[in-house]
């Protein structure tokens, strides 16, 4: 695998974009049909633009990560064969077990995401990059992008530890990635549709909305992404009340509206001269 394999990077970009378009558009339809908040068309257009930029940069970063893992000779330490552990001769049951396997993989991966996410709120340099995401005021299934540097952080703190685990069943990683991609957009969606009691296991938009909240009593809460289990175990879970749907964003930073603002958000001295680094955490993020 070459460091500048254009075909490989193009495949990563196209696959990622297809997944985003499918699930973001599905959740956007729910937002328009059952809105909790109605946001401007401009915010949706801005979200589409920023997603394309981020996925393009991410395709290169993830390809470089795969090349680096190969160069360094990093091998799995543990092999888990879901095909043997969870298998049935009944096709319907077998498909259900494949989904269950994907859920279990996603929950395990979310353990590393949970601690990465806490680090992003605690370490000033990481917070500057992550604050790009938290600055979004019109949070929707499309307008929920992270900064272009996010794959670098996720590669080191989430993907690298997961590389040490190998899952034999070929369908499981695909199912897990599909579930996680859907979760990305559902969790940021501004629709009244949510997972209800299932929220005590799988995170949804009401649960994650608290993490983005401007309210002081919501600060340092709900770091988990796919599952709420790790927040429960590590005592950071906040369960939203029936009609609790707070305003979101940062008190000391405006949402980036231009491409330059989006790309340069963590490095713009004018922004950070006006606010203490990490102060968004104190504002509930």
For residues 195, 201, 206 and 210, what is the CA-based torsion angle, rounded to 10 degrees? 180
Terminal alpha carbon distance of the chain: 40
Kindly tell me the sign of the dihedral angle through the C-alpha atoms of 252, 257, 260, 263: positive
Confidence grade of residue 28 (pLDDT, cut at 50, 70, 90): very high
Residue 224 has, within 13 A of its CA and on its CB side, a CA count of 28
Dihedrals phi, psi of 12, to nearest 5 degrees: -60, -45
* Residue 72 in this model has a pLDDT that exceeds 80: yes
E strand residue ranges, 152-205: 165-167
Contact call for residues 187 and 208 (beta carbons, < 8 A)? yes
CA atoms of 285 and 211, how far apart (whole Å): 6
CA atoms of 106 and 118, how far apart (whole Å): 18
Q: pLDDT (tens digit, 9 = 90+) per residue, 232-264?
A: 999 999 999 988 999 999 998 999 999 999 999
- Residue 79 bridge partners (DSSP): 166
Structure confidence at residue 104 (pLDDT): 81
Q: pLDDT (tens digit, 9 = 90+) per residue, 113-122?
A: 999 999 999 9
E strand residue ranges, the chain: 78-80, 165-167
* Residue 86 in this model has a pLDDT that exceeds 80: no
Comparing 112 with 273, which gets the higher pLDDT? Answer: 112
- Residue 54 bridge partners (DSSP): none
> Residue 75 corresponds to which tokens in the numbers above?
């091998």
Q: List the chain domain ranges.
A: 6-271
Q: pLDDT (tens digit, 9 = 90+) per residue, 156-179?
A: 999 999 888 876 655 566 677 787
User: CA 167: distance to chain centroid?
Assistant: 22
């Amino acid at each position: 695998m070459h460091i500048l394999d254009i075909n490989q990077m193009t495949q990563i970009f196209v696959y990622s974009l297809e997944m985003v378009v499918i699930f973001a558009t599905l959740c956007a339809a729910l937002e328009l049909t059952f809105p909790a908040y109605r946001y401007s068309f401009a915010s949706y257009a801005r979200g589409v633009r920023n997603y394309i930029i981020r996925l393009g940069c991410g395709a290169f970063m993830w390809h470089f990560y795969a090349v680096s893992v190969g160069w360094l000779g990093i091998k799995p330490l543990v092999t888990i064969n879901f095909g043997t552990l969870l298998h049935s001769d009944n096709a319907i049951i077998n498909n259900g077990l494949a989904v269950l396997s994907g859920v279990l993989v996603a929950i395990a991966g979310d353990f590393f995401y949970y601690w990465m996410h806490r680090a992003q709120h605690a370490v000033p340099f990481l917070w500057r990059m992550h604050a790009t995401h938290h600055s979004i005021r019109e949070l929707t299934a499309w307008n929920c992008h992270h900064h272009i540097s996010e794959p670098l952080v996720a590669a080191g703190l989430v993907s690298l530890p997961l590389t040490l685990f190998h899952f034999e069943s070929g369908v499981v990683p695909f199912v897990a990635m599909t579930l996680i991609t859907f979760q990305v957009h559902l969790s940021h969606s501004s629709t009244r549709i949510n997972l209800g009691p299932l929220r005590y296991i799988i995170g949804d938009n009401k649960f994650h909305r608290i993490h983005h909240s401007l309210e002081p009593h919501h600060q340092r809460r709900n770091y988990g992404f796919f599952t709420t289990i790790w927040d429960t175990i590590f005592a950071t879970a906040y369960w939203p009340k029936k009609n609790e749907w707070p305003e979101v964003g940062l008190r000391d930073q405006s949402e980036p509206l231009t491409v330059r603002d989006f790309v340069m958000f963590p490095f713009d001295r004018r922004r950070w001269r006006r606010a203490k680094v990490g102060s968004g955490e104190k504002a509930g993020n």
